[in-house]
Amino acid sequence: MIEQTSAFCCPICGKALWKEAKSLRCAMGHCYDYAKSGYVNLLMSQQGGLHGDDRPMVRARTAFLSAGHYRPLLDLMYSVLRDRLPRAPHIMDAGCGEGWYTQVIHELLCRDGYLPETVGVDISRDALAAAAKRKFGAEFAVASLFHIPLSNHWADLIVNVFAPDCMDEYFRVLSPGGYLLKVIPREDHLLELKQAVYDSVYENEISLPEHDGFSLLSNTVLRKKLCLTDNETIKNLFAMTPYGRKTSPADLAKLENLTELETTISFSVLLYQKV
């Protein structure tokens, strides 16, 4: 039997983790079982108060993303990064959720002759159960982005779509000259969707992450209209947003009979390099 190492390292002692039939184990004997779906839980117990997307949110996200509504965003992300990576890049999707971006980027790189080693990290077990079931050769771990179970300088690329800016950890995990590809919503992202639900609507505030160890190489804006033509898709999109959990039943009810919506989608795709 050939022993294989995991890309992840032990969150307790930092040593390499070896793949066993049902778990990952380090030389110190710390052991982490795979969940049935195939992800591993590397979250330290003292970080257990955090939570992420629950199952209905994960389902909404998977349905919406796999229908291709955000494919133009993904294609832009890919065009920004693809010629910059080494032949066998190490990639971490930080806050990977249910894994759609993780999988499509991994598969586009394989198509173009790269040999990516890809991992996804998220705080939500429900999201990672969905991600791990995609079975495209990536490893997924439940962990905090403030305590990433990867060794120093492991990653050539960190992908971060709407996820927290843990810049000190990203700096530690990235190789010298490595890239952080970050997507943030712009002021007018989903403006018409919000107008359909709320009486008064504010534009999103934009703040670009800053860190002395990174230089911003490019900021590419994608803005387009999305035409949604069925109620389920509209509700799925709303459920994906941060508003999904914070909206009153009266406001949520306004979505019930909405069968058509044209809404703006608007993103900044930011490429940082570790300097």
| Residues forming the site for Zn ion (CB under 5 A) | 10, 12-13, 26, 28, 30
Helices and strands (DSSP H and E) totals, the chain:
8, 12
In the bound state with Zn ion, the residue whose beta carbon lies nearer, of 9 and 158, is 9
What H or E segment, with its residue span, contains residue 97? none
In the bound state with Zn ion, the residue whose beta carbon lies nearer, of 26 and 85, is 26
In the bound state with Zn ion, the residue whose beta carbon lies nearer, of 30 and 59, is 30
In the bound state with Zn ion, the residue whose beta carbon lies nearer, of 13 and 217, is 13
Output the smallest distance, CB 9 to Zn ion, in A: 8
What is the bridge-based pairing of β-strands 16-19 and 23-26?
antiparallel
Output the smallest distance, CB 154 to Zn ion, in A: 16
Output the smallest distance, CB 201 to Zn ion, in A: 49
Residue 58: closest CA among 10, 107, 20, 96: 96
Residue 185: closest CA among 237, 150, 262: 237
Residue of closest CB approach to Zn ion:
10
Output the smallest distance, CB 12 to Zn ion, in A: 5
In the bound state with Zn ion, the residue whose beta carbon lies nearer, of 12 and 275, is 12
Burial grade of 185 (CB within 10 A; 0-12, 13-18, 19 or more): middle
Output the smallest distance, CB 18 to Zn ion, in A: 11
Residue 145: closest CA among 204, 209, 81, 82: 209
Output the smallest distance, CB 125 to Zn ion, in A: 21
In the bound state with Zn ion, the residue whose beta carbon lies nearer, of 26 and 239, is 26
Question: Using an 8 Å Cβ cutoff, are 123 and 52 in contact?
Answer: yes
Please name the residues in contact with 234: beta carbons below 8 A apart, sequence gap of 6 or more: 193, 228, 255, 258, 259, 261
